[in-house]
Amino acid sequence: MATQVIMPKLSPTMEEGQLARWLKKEGDKVSMGEPLAEIDTDKATMEMQALGSGVLRKILIQEGESAPLGQLIAIIGEPDEDISALTSQAATAQPAKEFAKEDAKAGTSIAAFMPRRRKLVSTLRFNLHFAEVAQAERRELAYRSTRGEVLTGVLQLPIERSSTGRHPVIVWAYPDQEPSMSDSLTRLNSPMAAWLPFQYLLTRGFAVFHAPLSTEMKHLIEPIDMVTDAVLPWLDVLEQQAEIIAGEYGFFGHSNAGYVALALEAMTTRFKAIVASSTFPDLAAASLSSAMDKMVLDCAGQVIQADRFYYEDTNQPYSFGGPFWRAQQKFIRNSPLYRMNSAATPMLLIEGEFDFSPRQMESVFSILYGLGIPVEMAHYWGEGHVISSPGNIKDMWERTDTFFRKYMRMN
């Protein structure tokens, strides 16, 4: 029986996904659990695994196109299996492809489905200025790791160059988010570009570098060492680039990348400024509690357990293979909150009122303040894990830019 591949929910706040890259083509054999595609969510680019085995018979949305949660995007079946009923079922969604292709070139469309006409009709088009926005120059950088692997990252350079032609660089690294010349960090109309500050920073004279962060070795190396070992070698690579001011490195991280930011704060002094957004300084506390907005629910106790299972899942990027009470010292060793005694880098902390760990972020603020390290905090009322209000997004972008400029040399 054919397996219907639908757009999966890959983050708690995800409402639609953009197909970044198919890892298989039509006619390829597919095994259950094998990576099938990369999906851009509102948080990161994540792998989608196949939920069935067979042959990838039909791809229904192309790279760069978007689909809402639950929409059929591909079909896996036997080579000679009749899938005509499924392809007919998907046909009503085909007009959405045309809008998605157009969006990438000329803004955004809101469309309504007309049942009698069995098609989508555009009702509103906006963000047309995207067609006139210049894309940052991009290029791949590579280096060979100590394990002999050739790793690749993506450097974006500002449209308007400084008088010297050299720029400070802001680094980003998210677990298992593979850098690409056309991913959620480089496309102007990607879900992540709508709220992360990187495209804005590119207009403000900063270069942006996306470093790879594989968690393949997570069962052999402690999380806090895994992330710092993955990021720090890239600073030596950036130092060799003619357009980069050597030593002028900043880091911005949100959520799982925010953990990287806190780890770098605790473990190195090679960055001039670090911004950590919506993350978890204390892994034990994060795994044993839940977001504030969920605590008023009758099922709050069950929600807490669901969050705990999330952190204990061996498939998570920072996996401990079990609960806190069985690995207490490992949780503590890898919680940046308890490693801040060596911190020295100016830091901006960003949190939403209803995020998972606002009290923990405030603990980091208190520690850094007590150590005499320049530290600022932005607390956004009414926000959750992802800052979503246009006014708050604007404030976060400008605050981040001002903070980096305060501690980094621009030319």
Specify the CATH number for the domain of residue 367. Answer: 3.40.50.1820
Q: State the average pLDDT over residues 116-145.
A: 72
Q: How high is the pLDDT of residue 182?
A: 80
Q: How high is the pLDDT of residue 299?
A: 78
Domain's final residue, options 84, 104, 124: 104
298 and 237 in a single domain? The answer is yes
7 and 95 in a single domain? The answer is yes
Q: How high is the pLDDT of residue 97?
A: 40
Amino acid identity of residue 166, one-letter, is: R
Whether residue 112 is contained in a domain is answered as no
67 and 146 in a single domain? The answer is no
Whether residue 121 is contained in a domain is answered as no
83 and 139 in a single domain? The answer is no
374 and 299 in a single domain? The answer is yes
Residue 104 pLDDT greater than 50, yes or no:
no
Average pLDDT of the chain to the nearest whole number: 85
The residue ranking higher by pLDDT, 19 or 269, is: 269
Domain's final residue, options 83, 104, 125: 104
297 and 199 in a single domain? The answer is yes
Q: State the average pLDDT over residues 130-137.
A: 75
CA distance 103 to 89: 24
**Contact at 8 Å (CB) between 76 and 57?**
yes
Each as own residue / partner, the long-range contacts of residues 113-119 (CB below 8 Å, 24 or more positions apart, any chain) are 118/92, 119/92, 119/95
List phi, psi (to 5°) of 276.
-120, 125
CA distance 303 to 305: 5
**Contact at 8 Å (CB) between 177 and 253?**
no
CA distance 246 to 207: 12
Whether residue 82 is contained in a domain is answered as yes
Q: Give, for 77, the enclosing helix (H) or strand (E).
A: strand 72-77
**Tens digits of residue pLDDT in 345-371:** 999 999 999 887 778 899 999 999 999
Whether residue 303 is contained in a domain is answered as yes
Report how many domains make up the chain. Answer: 2
**Tens digits of residue pLDDT in 1-29:** 788 888 887 776 677 888 889 999 999 99
162 and 268 in a single domain? The answer is yes
95 and 158 in a single domain? The answer is no
Whether residue 123 is contained in a domain is answered as no
Specify the CATH number for the domain of residue 25. Answer: 2.40.50.100
378 and 259 in a single domain? The answer is yes
**Tens digits of residue pLDDT in 149-199:** 899 999 999 988 878 889 999 999 999 888 988 877 887 767 788 899 999
Whether residue 111 is contained in a domain is answered as no
296 and 174 in a single domain? The answer is yes
pLDDT-derived band at 335, boundaries 50, 70, 90? very high
Cα angle: 81, vertex 33, 326; to 5 degrees: 155
Q: How high is the pLDDT of residue 112?
A: 62
Residue 129 pLDDT greater than 90, yes or no:
no
**Tens digits of residue pLDDT in 390-407:** 999 999 999 999 999 999
pLDDT-derived band at 146, boundaries 50, 70, 90? confident
Whether residue 61 is contained in a domain is answered as yes
Residue keyed to tokens 């219907």: 4
Domain's final residue, options 89, 104, 119: 104
149 and 36 in a single domain? The answer is no
Whether residue 126 is contained in a domain is answered as no
Residue 283 pLDDT greater than 90, yes or no:
no
Q: Give the residue numbers spanning the domain of 333.
A: 134-407
Total-model pTM: 0.72
269 and 393 in a single domain? The answer is yes
